[in-house]
Amino acid sequence: MSGSFDFAFIFYGIMNAAFAIAVSPLFMGIIKKTKALSQGRKGPPVFQQYYNIAKLLKKESVYSGNSSRIMSAAPMLNIAALLTAALFVPLFFIPPQTDLAGNIILFLYLLALAKFFMALSGLDAGSAFGGMGSSREMSLSAVIEPVTIIVFAGLAFVLKTSNIIEMFRQAAFGFGVLSVDAALFPILIALFIVLIAETARVPVDNPETHLELTMIHEAMILEQSGKNLCLMELSHAIKQTLLMAIIINIFAPFGIAMHLGAAAIIAAMAAFLAKGAFLSIAVGIFESSFAKLRLFRLPNYFMIAFFLALLTILFEVFV
Amino acid sequence: MDVWPFYVGLVSLLLAAIFPLFGFGLKERAARSLRNFSVLLAALGCAALVFFASKAIYFNESLFISAYKILPVLEFSFFIDRLSSFFILVISIVAFCVSIYSADYIEHGKHSKRKNMLASVMMLFILSMILVVSSANTFSFLFFWELMSISSFFLVMFEYEKKETGKAGMFYFIMTQLSTVFLIFAFIILYYSAGTFDIVSYGTVPSAAGSFGAMPAGAINPALASLAFISLFLGFGTKAGVVPFHKWLPYAHPASPSNISALMSGVMIKVAIYGLMRFVLFVFAPELWWGVMILIAGIISAILGIIYALKEHDIKRFLAYSSIENVGIILTGFGLSVIFSKYGLSGLATMSLIASLFHTINHAIFKSLLFLTAGSVVHSTETRDIEEMGGLIKKMPYTALFFLIGAVSISALPPFNGFVSELMIFQALFQSGVLESPLMEVLLLASLSIFALMSALAAACFVKAFGITFLAAPRSHEAKNAKEAPRFMLLGPALLSALCIALGIFSFQIFSLLGYSFPIPNMLFTGSVLIITYALAAGAMRFLASDRARIGETWGCGILSQNSKMEYTASGFSEPITTIFSSIYKTQKHVSRNYFDSKKSVFKDGEAGIRLMKFFEEYIYMPIGNAVGKLSYMVSEGLRGDLDIQILLGFSAIIALIIALGWFA
Q: Which of B262, B347, B312 is nearest to B468 (CA)?
A: B312
Q: Is A310's CB within 8 Å of B413's CB?
A: no
The single-letter DSSP state of residue A103 is B
Q: Is A76's CB within 8 Å of B538's CB?
A: yes
The single-letter DSSP state of residue B310 is H
Q: Is A150's CB within 8 Å of B445's CB?
A: yes
Q: Is B445's CB within 8 Å of A83's CB?
A: no
CA B353 – CA B357 distance, rounded (Å): 6
CA A223 – CA A62 distance, rounded (Å): 8
CA B93 – CA B97 distance, rounded (Å): 7
Q: Which of B395, B379, B402 is nearest to B466 (CA)?
A: B402
Question: Which strand (E) or helix (H) includes residue B606?
Answer: strand B603-612
Residue A286 in contact with residue A40, Cβ under 8 Å? no
Torsion angle of the four alpha carbons B290, B295, B301, B306, in this order, in degrees rounded to the nearest 10: 170
pLDDT for position B560: 76
Main-chain dihedrals φ then ψ at residue B634, nearest 5 degrees: -60, -45
Alpha helices per DSSP H over B506-569: 507-513, 523-544
Nearest to A60 among B460, B533, B550 (CB): B550
Question: Which residues in chain A touch residue B578, judged by CB atoms under 8 angstroms apart?
Answer: none
CB-based contact, B288 to chain A, within 8 Å:
no
CA B24 – CA B28 distance, rounded (Å): 9
Mean pLDDT for chain A overall: 89
CB pairs < 8 Å spanning A and B: 255
In sequence order, which residues have a C-beta less than 8 Å from that of residue B475 and are 6 or more positions away?
B387, B388, B389, B390, B391, B564, B565, B567
- What is this model's ipTM? 0.95
Reduced to 3 states, what is the DSSP secondary structure of residue B80? strand
pLDDT for position B212: 34
Main-chain dihedrals φ then ψ at residue B218, nearest 5 degrees: -65, -20
Reduced to 3 states, what is the DSSP secondary structure of residue B135? strand
Question: Which residues in chain A touch residue B411, judged by CB atoms under 8 angstroms apart?
Answer: 112, 116
Main-chain dihedrals φ then ψ at residue B611, nearest 5 degrees: -125, 135
Q: How far is A180 from chain B (nearest CA, A)?
A: 17
Q: How far is CA A88 from CA A17, A166, A167, A256, B425, in A?
A: 10, 10, 11, 16, 20
- DSSP one-letter string for A156-214: HHHHS--BHHHHHHHHTTTTGGGGT-GGGHHHHHHHHHHHHHHTT-TTT--TT---TTT
Q: Is A131's CB within 8 Å of B411's CB?
A: no
Residue B115 in contact with residue B35, Cβ under 8 Å? yes
CB-based contact, A61 to chain B, within 8 Å:
yes
User: Most distant CA pair in chain B: distance in Å?
Assistant: 96
In sequence order, which residues have a C-beta less than 8 Å from that of residue B354 and are 6 or more positions away?
B424, B511, B516, B518
Q: How far is CA B144 from CA B139, B191, B198, B273, B619, in A?
A: 9, 18, 15, 16, 33
Question: Which residues in chain A touch residue B467, judged by CB atoms under 8 angstroms apart?
Answer: 119-120, 122-124, 131, 134
Q: Is B541's CB within 8 Å of A227's CB?
A: yes
Q: Which residue has the higher pLDDT, A182 or B90?
A: B90
Q: Which of A264, A58, A245, A86 is nearest to A168 (CA)?
A: A245
Q: Is B537's CB within 8 Å of A113's CB?
A: no
pLDDT for position B213: 35
Residue B459 in contact with residue A138, Cβ under 8 Å? yes
Contacting A residues, span 64-123, partner chain B, CB-CB under 8 Å: 64-70, 76-77, 79-81, 83-84, 87, 99-101, 103, 105-106, 109-110, 112-113, 115-116, 119-120, 122-123
For residue range A223-236, what is the model confidence (pLDDT) as tens digits?
Answer: 899 999 999 999 99
Q: Which of B160, B159, B152 is nearest to B269 (CA)?
A: B152
Nearest to A116 among B408, B430, B448 (CB): B408
Q: Which residue of A has its CA nearest to B437?
A: A317
Main-chain dihedrals φ then ψ at residue A210, nearest 5 degrees: -120, 35
Contacting A residues, span 238-267, partner chain B, CB-CB under 8 Å: none
CA B501 – CA B323 distance, rounded (Å): 20
Question: Which residues in chain B touch residue A297, judged by CB atoms under 8 angstroms apart?
Answer: none
Q: How far is CA A11 from CA A14, A18, A19, A279, in A?
A: 5, 11, 12, 27
Q: Could you tell me the pTM of the whole model?
A: 0.93
pLDDT for position A213: 64
B75 DSSP β-pair partners: B69
Torsion sign (Cα): B603, B606, B610, B614: negative
Q: How far is A192 from chain B (nearest CA, A)?
A: 19
CB-based contact, A180 to chain B, within 8 Å:
no
CA B151 – CA B194 distance, rounded (Å): 31
Task: Count CB-CB contacts under 10 A for residue B596.
Answer: 11
- Chain centroid to Cα A195, Å, comes to 6
Residue B365 in contact with residue B94, Cβ under 8 Å? yes
Residue A250 in contact with residue A169, Cβ under 8 Å? no
Residue B102 in contact with residue B260, Cβ under 8 Å? no
Tell me if the bond preceding A203 is cis, omega within 30° of 0.
yes
CB-based contact, B213 to chain A, within 8 Å:
no
Q: Is B554's CB within 8 Å of A126's CB?
A: yes
Q: Is B438's CB within 8 Å of A68's CB?
A: no
Q: Which of B426, B250, B244, B435 is nearest to B339 (CA)?
A: B435
pLDDT for position A184: 82
For residue range A32-83, what is the model confidence (pLDDT) as tens digits?
Answer: 999 999 999 999 999 999 999 999 999 999 999 889 999 999 999 999 999 9
Alpha helices per DSSP H over chain A: 7-38, 48-58, 69-86, 104-124, 128-159, 164-171, 185-198, 217-220, 226-251, 262-288, 298-318
In sequence order, which residues have a C-beta less than 8 Å from that of residue B424 and are 6 or more positions away?
B333, B351, B352, B354, B355, B358, B518, B520
pLDDT at A174 over 70: no
For residue range B494-540, what is the model confidence (pLDDT) as tens digits?
Answer: 999 999 999 999 999 999 999 888 888 899 999 999 999 999 999 99
Q: B642-659 burial, b if ≥16 CB within 10 A, otherwise e? A: eeeeeeeeeeeeeeeeee
For residue B567, the one-letter residue type is: E
pLDDT < 50: residue spans in chain B: 204-218
CA B128 – CA B13 distance, rounded (Å): 10
Q: Is A138's CB within 8 Å of B550's CB?
A: no
CA B365 – CA A2 distance, rounded (Å): 28
Alpha helices per DSSP H over B382-506: 392-395, 397-410, 417-430, 438-470, 477-480, 487-505
Residue B386 in contact with residue B570, Cβ under 8 Å? yes
Q: Give long-range contacts, CB 8 A cutoff, 24+ apart: A136-139.
A: A136/A216, A136/A219, A136/A295, A136/B576, A137/A216, A137/A217, A137/A220, A138/B459, A138/B460, A138/B463, A138/B464, A138/B577, A139/B460, A139/B576, A139/B577, A139/B580
Question: Which residues in chain B touch residue A58, judged by CB atoms under 8 angstroms apart?
Answer: 545-546
Residue B105 in contact with residue B374, Cβ under 8 Å? no
Q: Is A106's CB within 8 Å of B457's CB?
A: no
CB-based contact, A127 to chain B, within 8 Å:
yes
Share of chain A above pLDDT 90, in %: 56
Q: How far is B149 from chain A (nearest CA, A)?
A: 37
CA B578 – CA B583 distance, rounded (Å): 9
Q: Is A126's CB within 8 Å of B525's CB?
A: no
